[in-house]
A = this chain, B = another copy of it.
């Protein structure tokens, strides 16, 4: 699917040229493959999903190893429902616990905290995970390339914030 070779370069051509198309495909393929590989390694070595790791890691990085669920969701960029289900599963496995934050009985906020098992899990998983990220990505790129990737990512993130979710507007 794409522009049939009818050779009418309209003013607002919605299609991509060869090179753009190839770049986009390479990029998305890389994303898929990379995520899948990292997910796989994490699962095999530590019994954690990437989602598990993200949650544990975010909690481990903060003061009391605890965060309000809402803030955690914002930090991860997750839908509230996804976070809720994820936390429920992790709680069942004893990796985290939910409580009402100190100093306010009975609020609408939920606090999520690392358990000892959770801390243990993330500490054991971190080293090999970081190692793998380094091997597959960081060391694959020059310092310059990494910094370029960073700014491109930032640029796209900004774009996502600037531009609202497009409504149905295609004929």
Contacts and interface: CB of A to CB of B under 8 A. Distances in A.
A44 to B, nearest CB: 7
Contacts of A22: 150
A166 B31 contact: no
A156 B34 contact: yes
A157 B141 CA distance: 12
Range for the number of chain A residues in contact with chain B: 35 or more
Given A23-B147, A160-B136, A16 B77 contact: no
A15 to B, nearest CB: 6
Contacts of A140: 155-156, 158-159
Given A145-B152, A146-B23, A168-B44, A157 B33 contact: yes
A14 B77 contact: no
Secondary structure call for the A interface: helix
B31 A35 contact: yes
A134 B40 CA distance: 31
B138 A16 contact: yes
Interface string A114-126: 0000000011101
B146 A60 contact: no
Contacts of A123: 1
Given A1-B60, A141-B152, 7 more contacts: A26-B153, A30-B154, A31-B35, A33-B160, A44-B168, A140-B158, A148-B148
